[in-house]
Amino acid sequence: MSKLRQFREGVFGKADVRQYGMVFSLIAIIALFYITTDGVVLNSANLINVVSQYSYILILAIGMVMVIIAGHIDLSVGSVAAFTGIMVATSMADWGFAWPLGIVVGILVGMAVGAWQGFWVSRVMVPAFIVTLAGMLIFRGLNQVIGQSATVPVPEGFKVIGRGYLPQIGPDLILANGTRIVNTTTLVLGMVAVLLVVWLEFRKRAKAKSVGSEVPAMWATIVKLVLLGFVIMFFAFKFSTGNAGTGFPVSGMILLALVFIYSFIMGNTTFGRHVYAVGGNKRAAALSGVNVQRVNFLVIANMSMLAALAGMIYIARAGASGPQDGVGWELDAIAAVFIGGAAVTGGVGTVIGSMVGGLVMAFLNNGLSLMGVDQSWVSVIKGLVLLAAVAFDLISKSNDRSQILPTFMRRSKKRTEQETSTQLAEPNNPQLAQ
């Protein structure tokens, strides 16, 4: 095996490098805006702003990728987030609930909405597109009715989940070059993340060896870990050297926790495998014993739960719930999932991929805004990126299918020739007697 192939398999695994195209695209976008904005895009304050501003969309993308993998679509997430936001804000402002109890209200609202929509999809068999389209109208209307088309403020304590940062532990550190580290907790978090990545990688290698599977060359694995460690520590350093009183956002911590949990669920649990099975072939999954109704109910209900969480984080950052909250969020979440590599037909997609797709959209928005591009043109560019990503996915699959038929025909022809040669070589062949 060549060194290049060993490196590729060590870093990317056995998967086709095309699946990592969006990672390279994200790097290219950041590099482009780094040049055009004189480095502002990677400024500490800007990176903190990107995480705070787009964390709720990325949270929606986690739920949306599960919905799309299962073969559905959810158009109601923006309205559900807005409805939850106004319910939580009203409970604290008018009903006198403390902010922790307000969060409980939001979770209960998300559960109720999820059960409602999941029932229609899984039991009544109404297509999710129709159910969530109706939900988009219903919950947008309820947001307007309950809030009376006005903004409702939230208390300071509640704002922590949208505006807060990891707390600083100990005094600020000043490096030799004069750089001030204002949040050592963020830096320590980055170190812990590097150690976790190293442990998980070597655990995966040990598990593969124990079952006799082939593992990448050790040097390739080390190169991969060095690259990942550098990236993690680079951003940890950036987040820890922002303005005084800042650091890694609390909303970002919530996002990271959800990414870890849902990546584990989709990649290492029976339920995750069932979601992929239902999206790949619902009939075959049912014949294999998968409870399709249960899977459909849970993915739709889970989406509403995450939409409720996203709505709470948004109003915490905004400081109030308003009538225009959540408008267009479903489109951003769907775009993030498809850009991240999910298949239009279902059965394909990953949580990490949807995060990469969401970051592509986030840095496009942020970079174009820093350049002073008009918002109308930003929408045009985002639409073109989405179209290109889905078209690339379909063309790639079309090329794969086009390669299958010629290969099958060549093998069939070769097998026929071998059978004919065998028959002619037999002394008592009845065809020769004729």
* pLDDT at residue 25 in the model: 85
C-alpha–C-alpha distance, residues 303 and 63, integer Å: 5
Would the pLDDT of 123 be above 80? Answer: yes
Would the pLDDT of 69 be above 60? Answer: yes
* pLDDT at residue 404 in the model: 42
- Phi and psi (nearest 5°) for 392? -60, -40
- Phi and psi (nearest 5°) for 321? -100, 135
Which pTM value belongs to this model? 0.86
Would the pLDDT of 434 be above 60? Answer: no
pLDDT category at 379 given cuts 50, 70, 90 is confident
CB atoms within 10 A of CB 181: 18
Q: Mention the CATH class of domain 20-164+249-409.
A: mainly alpha
CA distances from 222 to 6, 9, 133, 159 (A): 12, 12, 48, 42
pLDDT (tens digit per residue) in 319-354: 999 999 999 899 999 999 998 888 888 898 899 999
C-alpha–C-alpha distance, residues 58 and 61, integer Å: 5
149 versus 359: which is more confidently predicted? 359
C-alpha–C-alpha distance, residues 349 and 65, integer Å: 7
C-alpha–C-alpha distance, residues 223 and 207, integer Å: 20
Specify which residues 153 forms β-bridges with: 320
C-alpha–C-alpha distance, residues 31 and 39, integer Å: 9
pLDDT (tens digit per residue) in 165-207: 998 887 767 775 666 777 888 989 999 999 999 998 888 888 8
Domain-by-domain residue ranges, the chain? 20-164+249-409, 169-247
